[in-house]
Amino acid sequence: MTLEMIEERPLDRRLIVRNVLIYAPTAAIVVSLLLMSLNALFIRGNAGAVLPGFILAVVSFAVVYELVAALRDLRTEPVTIEGTADRIWKKSRLLVFGRQDYLLVDRKVFEIGALAASELKVGQQVAIKHWPHTMRVVTLERVREADPPRRR
């Protein structure tokens, strides 16, 4: 069995710390806005706070989820999984601002680069080293079976 490197990103805990530094204040702001909206809705009886409350609840959940994942990764080390590339697809990010490639391996979804997505095929064996909670890829390798010995 041999491994062929397809994608490599820096194994740096600073990326996880950066995520914490971005998501922590954002979560604090969005959750405080949500609490203000809920206060206006339930304490003051302002029915106009229903829509902002709903939107802020969805955004708060997403931001707090990412913050908790980054905080959990601060206490761990990257892990490696091997499996079959079950699905590879592209999807637009927020509205139409950029496209991202995704890889599904063992019911886990990873964001991968466009070059890696073009080199991989569904059904190929891959080995992925990643942070376990944010699912941020460190290395992506294609697993190739060793060539059988030739008979003379």
For residue 3, the tally of other CB atoms under 10 A from its CB is 14
What residues does each domain of the chain span?
A: 2-10+77-144, 14-74
Mean pLDDT of the chain: 90
> Of 10, 16, 14, nearest to 133 (Cα)?
16
Q: What is the pLDDT of residue 54?
A: 96
> Of 10, 138, 20, 139, nearest to 73 (Cα)?
20
Q: Evaluate the CA torsion angle 64, 67, 72, 73 in order and state its sign.
A: positive
Q: Which fold has domain 2-10+77-144?
A: OB fold (Dihydrolipoamide Acetyltransferase, E2P) (2.40.50)
Distance CA 139, CA 141 (A): 6
Q: What is the pLDDT of residue 98?
A: 78
Q: Per residue in 50-71, pLDDT tens?
A: 999 999 999 999 999 999 999 9
Q: What is the pLDDT of residue 148?
A: 60
| pTM for the structure as a whole | 0.80
Q: What is the pLDDT of residue 151?
A: 65
Residue 30: is its pLDDT beyond 80? Answer: yes
Q: Per residue in 132-145, pLDDT tens?
A: 999 999 999 999 87
Of the chain, the percentage scoring pLDDT greater than 70 comes to 93
Q: Per residue in 81-100, pLDDT tens?
A: 999 999 999 988 766 677 88
